[in-house]
Amino acid sequence: MSSKTQILDFIRGRYPQAEIDESQDIFALGFVNSLFAMELVMFVEKTFGVTIPNEELRIDNFRTADAMSALVSRLSSDLAVA
Amino acid sequence: MTLTSTAPATEQTAPAGAGPVTDRSSARAFVDTHVVPYADAYDSSGRVPEDLLRRAAEAGLWDPLSTDMVTLGEVHEEVGRGCSSLRSLLTVHTMVSWTLRRWGTDAQRDRWSAALARGDALGAFCLSEPGAGSDAAGITTTATQAGGGWVINGVKTWTTGGQRADVFLVFARTATSIGAFLVPRDTPGVEVTPIDDMLGTRASMLARISFTDVTLGPDALLGPSGFTAGMVLTGTLDLGRYSVAAGSLGIVQACLEASADYAARREVGGRPLAELPLIQAKLSDMVTDARAARLLVAEAGRLKDAGESATIMATWVAKYFASTAAARHASEAVQIHGASGCAPGSPVARFYRDAKVMEIIEGSNEVQRITIAGQAERETTR
């Protein structure tokens, strides 16, 4: 299962009433609060074995499943290089 | 468990150390030796004495991150069993220590981590204001960027450990969100005013802290800025809630031990109280709720250790259950003790007052119910 699919499954699991695709801005839907943001970051770090540094905790990295998947790829490649 | 305090809390009378605290067993030994006999005296005097703070440092209690979260919960339960004021000081110190480790830069950690772990510096958490408690979004303290750094203005209140802490983790409104700032106590413009004679956790050295043009460097900001800054607050409160859940469980256990002891010794009509069905019902409910709360706290801790996001809701549930159980059973513990439970220096009277506080701090029970119900609503729409 791709990282994008896993991220979408997590968001849909928390907000099953929302219709979300991989390019949809979840912030525009209006249900993202600091609690969900924390859960989302914990989910990404746990599921993909990465640590998101402070400088990557930017809204644009979390707007869409596409953006989060790209973040995971970037951090995973950093991990591989290290 | 004694019914009344018999020894004053002084350095002269406190016994020698009981060794490092590394797990539940050693925490229990420490608390039984250094805390339980004196907790009512701390409550009366309105402060945890320096001698105990030093002994806690020697035992490693100010270094909460040296252990896993399940063990941390067990240790905080044991401390809460002995004294909710000491446990409250540990809670806020743990929140600051964890937040520094999770979000701090290398320079911030270099400056504070070792001192916090040794207990050379104590941390406190500044969120509540005269006009904003559980409604964290309502805070009005500001952090304004100026001269490459930050200037903080505002008033925080009900700050646990505020009278004693060396560094404050201050949440303030920035131009874009709420940010967390490390503010040394001795920074010009910081004024600490003690708050005494609270209903409960009377020895936790609460304070009102005003920040007037407090000028800080750029490195005062802890964690990200922007939209994710709220996560620092969420994460910090989550850990505080976990500690309060464990401490509340400690109160339930303390109520059980005190009540079982008293019911076995006190006679009515020639029979021990313990033989009366209504007393047995109260004790059995304490036993059951203590076990249930312990499982909930342990589950929240296990999820934290595993890095699972489900820990946040598990912690809400544990705190809600344990704090309401503490308030309920502390009331029953006083009832079992009768007039003795209402007397000056009665531990169960202290548990009763402390337990009420647990239903309010780190998110009132009303807010907890809204949050828990919100999740239930989402899940039922699947």
pLDDT: which is higher, B231 or B150:
B150
pLDDT band for B156, please (50, 70, 90 cuts): very high
Q: Nearest by CB to A34, which of B234, B311, B382?
A: B234
Among A11, A42, A43, the strongest candidate for a mutation testing the B interface, having the largest count of B CBs within 10 A, is: A42
Determine contact: B104 vs chain A, CB below 8 A: no
Burial of B142 (0-12, 13-18, 19+ CB in 10 A): middle
Answer yes or no: do B224 and A17 touch at CB < 8 A: no
Q: Which chain A residues touch B228 with a CB distance below 8 Å?
A: 37, 41, 57-59, 62
Q: Which residues, in sequence order, are CB contacts of B371 under 8 Å at separation 6+?
A: A35, B313, B316, B363
Mean pLDDT confidence for B358-381: 86
pLDDT digits (tens, 9 = 90+) for A37-57: 888 889 999 999 998 888 888
pLDDT: which is higher, B86 or B18:
B86
> How many secondary structure helices (H) and strands (E) does chain B include?
12, 10
Is residue B296 helix, strand or coil? helix
Domains and CATH numbers, chain B: 24-118 (1.10.540.10), 123-222 (2.40.110.10), 230-380 (1.20.140.10)
pLDDT at B382: 55
Determine contact: B382 vs chain A, CB below 8 A: yes
Q: Are B238 and B371 in contact (CB under 8 A)?
A: no
Answer yes or no: do B230 and A33 touch at CB < 8 A: yes
pLDDT at B231: 83
The class that CATH gives domain A3-81 is mainly alpha
d(CA A75, CA A57): 12
pLDDT at A53: 87
pLDDT at B11: 40
pLDDT: which is higher, B20 or B134:
B20
Determine contact: A29 vs chain B, CB below 8 A: no
Q: Are B214 and B202 in contact (CB under 8 A)?
A: no
State how far residue B366 is from chain A, nearest Cα, in angstroms: 17
State how far residue B313 is from chain A, nearest Cα, in angstroms: 10
| pLDDT beyond 90 at B380 | no
Q: Which residues, in sequence order, are CB contacts of B272 under 8 Å at separation 6+?
A: B263, B264, B265, B266
pLDDT at B14: 44
pLDDT at A36: 84
Mean pLDDT confidence for B107-114: 95
- Weakest mean pLDDT among A35-39, B106-110, B137-141: A35-39
Q: What is the mean pLDDT of chain B?
A: 92
Mean pLDDT confidence for B172-200: 95
pLDDT at B228: 73
Determine contact: B228 vs chain A, CB below 8 A: yes
| pLDDT beyond 90 at B172 | yes
Answer yes or no: do B309 and A57 touch at CB < 8 A: no
Closest CA to B252 of B202, B313, B319: B319
Mean pLDDT confidence for B155-165: 98
pLDDT digits (tens, 9 = 90+) for B294-326: 999 999 999 999 999 999 999 999 999 999 999
Distance of CA A69 to the CA centre of its chain: 7
Size of interface A-B (CB pairs under 8 A): 62
Determine contact: A59 vs chain B, CB below 8 A: yes
Q: Nearest by CB to B381, which of A16, A42, A57?
A: A16
pLDDT at B65: 87
| pLDDT beyond 90 at B192 | yes
| pLDDT beyond 70 at B275 | yes
State how far residue B151 is from chain A, nearest Cα, in angstroms: 22
Dig out the tokens for B30 from the structure: 């420490």
| pLDDT beyond 80 at A34 | no
pLDDT band for A82, please (50, 70, 90 cuts): low
Among A25, A35, A61, the strongest candidate for a mutation testing the B interface, having the largest count of B CBs within 10 A, is: A35
Determine contact: A72 vs chain B, CB below 8 A: no
Query: Could you give the percent of chain B with pLDDT greater than 90?
Result: 84
Catalytic residues of B: 362
